[in-house]
Amino acid sequence: MKKNFDLLIRNASIVDGTNAPRFNGDIGIRGDRIECIGDLSSFCGDLELNLGGRIAAPGFIDSHTHDDRMMLSNPDMAPKVSQGVTTVIGGNCGVSLAPMPRPIPNPVTPPLNLLDEQGTWFHFPTFKSYLEELRANPAATNCAMLVGHTTLRVATMNDFSQAASPSEIQAMRELVNEAMHAGAIGVSTGLFYEPSIAAPTEEVIEVCSSLKKFNGLYCTHMRNEADRVIDSLEESFRIGREVGVPVVISHHKVAEPANQGRSVETLALIEKNMATQTICLDCYPYTASSTILSADRAATSTRVIVSWSQSLPEYAGQDLTAIAQKMNCSQEEAVKRLLPAGAIYFKMDEADVQRILKFDQTMIGSDGLPHDTSPHPRLWGSFPRVLGHYGRLLGLFPLETAVYKMTGLTAKNFGLKDRGILREGAYADLTLFDADTVDEAATFAAPIAPARGIEAVIVNGAIVWRDGKSTGARPGRVLQREPSEET
């Protein structure tokens, strides 16, 4: 008797997410799981997709996002599903939408304004209430969420220019415990950013002290990614060791022209410490970073593009030098007039970016900023750019390795069970694409554009993106971190 699958994908070249060589086969999906992989030519499906030899891979996991609010305000998640992403890790860089047990300052304390300039979305008093909202109104993608230390500081402290007092640390610790109980996967910090710069290492260790008990992890936008990048790595490793949890070095880079080439040093140090503690890292495939606008950051960049401005929105997408010229003032003065604002900073070296991307243990994370008027193209383009530009065109790694860096490796590091892999019994999160054409379409000049070559994207067995558009399906789930079976 013919077995009927809900969805049958025929003639796929299967890249399974483990870094193993691709193989040909069919994939039978029933409900939210992959039921069979192999020669299914004698079976049929309620819906069938014939790939004609094109690629079926696990859905990509975006290891570094700021999608906390987009999950709710734009639940089709078009910037993500259009590039094949089926799961996002949110709450990074110390910035999470929850919890906010008291009114958020007005104007919203930067960099929390990256999530919402107006502040109206910061209305979840507990992490539990936020996750309940995500479950009640699911998005197209799955998510796993971190609680941000900068959010906790804004929620509990009145003066960010100093270390937290014992009672403030206690208040933050209680919020961490509540978040971890509710289903957060760990804590993120943004020690680079003004509201957290004054936090000493010991404060972070104390705020994170219960993470081990909850099997959480520690993700960090380090204090410094330029001249003091080595000190910052050592600080991050120390926090991981003292708290007793894995460390994720977010968007690893060496910034500023004076530090060109130093990824040789940083990767060697990371590799050395990996021998004695769990360290993970992610990277986005561009030489430009993006965050809030500041005159200091602009001064150490070779080019600056304004990505949004609350006071002068018409300047979004333009170079800061051109804006200063039009205003007939200095760059510093232009920055003052534009604030609060966001910017894209060119301050990395291509060879460093390639060296970090190529490093065995590097995951791909977009760090996309979904609410910017003229966002860094990483928001729409990171994953296809790694597959196309860096994989196919520059030959940085084989397709299987590129896929592994966005699926199997990421699922293992974040403890996302039965995700990031194509095998019988795993969740049916898949991306179907053409290896010969896949690439980003987004550019710095025109950053909002769905990628090329992505044919269909499936989340928990439901098609969320097909033929260049969202299908309207919203099968996303809130994922939790499961203890790793490996030792």
Summarize as ranges the residues that interact with Zn ion (CB under 5 A). Answer: 93, 221
Q: Does 188 bind Cu ion (CB under 5 A)?
A: no
Q: What are phi and psi of 187, to 5 degrees?
A: -115, 140
For Zn ion, the closer CB: 79 or 388: 79
> Taking the complex as a whole, how short is the minimal distance between the CB of residue 221 and Zn ion, in angstroms?
3
Contacts of 306 (CB under 8 A, 6+ apart): 293, 315, 316, 317, 318, 319, 320, 323, 338, 341, 342, 343, 344, 374
For Zn ion, the closer CB: 92 or 413: 92
Selection from Cu ion, Zn ion, none that 113 binds (CB < 5 to 8 A by kind) is: none
For Zn ion, the closer CB: 5 or 193: 193
For Zn ion, the closer CB: 153 or 221: 221
Angle (CA) 181 66 125, round 5°: 40
> Taking the complex as a whole, how short is the minimal distance between the CB of residue 153 and Zn ion, in angstroms?
16
> Taking the complex as a whole, how short is the minimal distance between the CB of residue 19 and Zn ion, in angstroms?
27
Candidate ranges 9-17, 20-28, 47-55, 85-93; the one touching Cu ion (CB under 5 A) = 85-93
Is the distance from CB of 414 to CB of 217 less than 8 angstroms?
yes
Which 8-state DSSP code applies to residue 319? B
For Zn ion, the closer CB: 93 or 316: 93
Instruction: For residues 135 and 145, give the distance between their C-alpha atoms in angstroms, rounded to a whole number.
Output: 13
Three-class secondary structure of residue 295 per DSSP: helix
β-strand 33-38 against 23-30: which pairing, if any?
A: antiparallel
For Cu ion, the closer CB: 173 or 221: 221
Q: Which of 426, 428, 431, 425 is nearest to 406 (CA)?
A: 431
Selection from Cu ion, Zn ion, none that 252 binds (CB < 5 to 8 A by kind) is: none
> Taking the complex as a whole, how short is the minimal distance between the CB of residue 93 and Zn ion, in angstroms?
3
Distance of CA 448 to the CA centre of its chain: 18
Candidate ranges 130-138, 310-318, 360-368, 409-417; the one touching Cu ion (CB under 5 A) = 360-368
Candidate ranges 203-211, 363-371, 375-383, 434-442; the one touching Cu ion (CB under 5 A) = 363-371
Q: Containing H/E element for 70?
A: helix 70-73
445 residue type, one letter: A
Is the distance from CB of 366 to CB of 383 less than 8 angstroms?
yes
Instruction: For residues 447 and 317, give the distance between their C-alpha atoms in angstroms, rounded to a whole number.
Output: 9
Distance of CA 329 to the CA centre of its chain: 36
User: In what side-by-side order are the strands of the sheet with 85-90?
Assistant: 60-62, 85-90, 142-148, 186-190, 217-221, 247-249, 279-283, 362-364
> Taking the complex as a whole, how short is the minimal distance between the CB of residue 144 and Zn ion, in angstroms?
17
> Taking the complex as a whole, how short is the minimal distance between the CB of residue 64 and Cu ion, in angstroms?
6
For Zn ion, the closer CB: 92 or 142: 92
Candidate ranges 159-167, 332-340, 367-375, 429-437; the one touching Cu ion (CB under 5 A) = 367-375
Which residue has the closest beta carbon to Cu ion? 93
For Cu ion, the closer CB: 253 or 355: 253
Among 26, 116, 225, 367, the residue binding Cu ion under the rule CB under 5 A is 367
Omega before 107 within 30 of 0, i.e. cis: yes
Candidate ranges 87-95, 118-126, 197-205, 340-348; the one touching Cu ion (CB under 5 A) = 87-95
The most distant pair of C-alpha atoms in the chain lies apart, rounded to whole Å, by: 78
For Zn ion, the closer CB: 83 or 291: 291
For Zn ion, the closer CB: 175 or 369: 369
> Taking the complex as a whole, how short is the minimal distance between the CB of residue 252 and Cu ion, in angstroms?
12
Selection from Zn ion, Cu ion, none that 421 binds (CB < 5 to 8 A by kind) is: none
What is the CB neighbour count within 10 angstroms for residue 306?
27
Q: Does 67 bind Cu ion (CB under 5 A)?
A: no
Q: Which of 185, 97, 190, 187 is nearest to 143 (CA)?
A: 185
Q: Does 288 bind Cu ion (CB under 5 A)?
A: no
Q: Does 92 bind Cu ion (CB under 5 A)?
A: yes
Selection from Cu ion, Zn ion, none that 62 binds (CB < 5 to 8 A by kind) is: none
Which 8-state DSSP code applies to residue 315? G
Q: Does 117 bind Cu ion (CB under 5 A)?
A: no
> Taking the complex as a whole, how short is the minimal distance between the CB of residue 136 and Zn ion, in angstroms?
29
What is the CB neighbour count within 10 angstroms for residue 118?
12
Among 72, 93, 343, 435, the residue binding Cu ion under the rule CB under 5 A is 93
Selection from Cu ion, Zn ion, none that 376 binds (CB < 5 to 8 A by kind) is: none
State the residues that interact with Cu ion by CB under 5 A: 92-93, 367
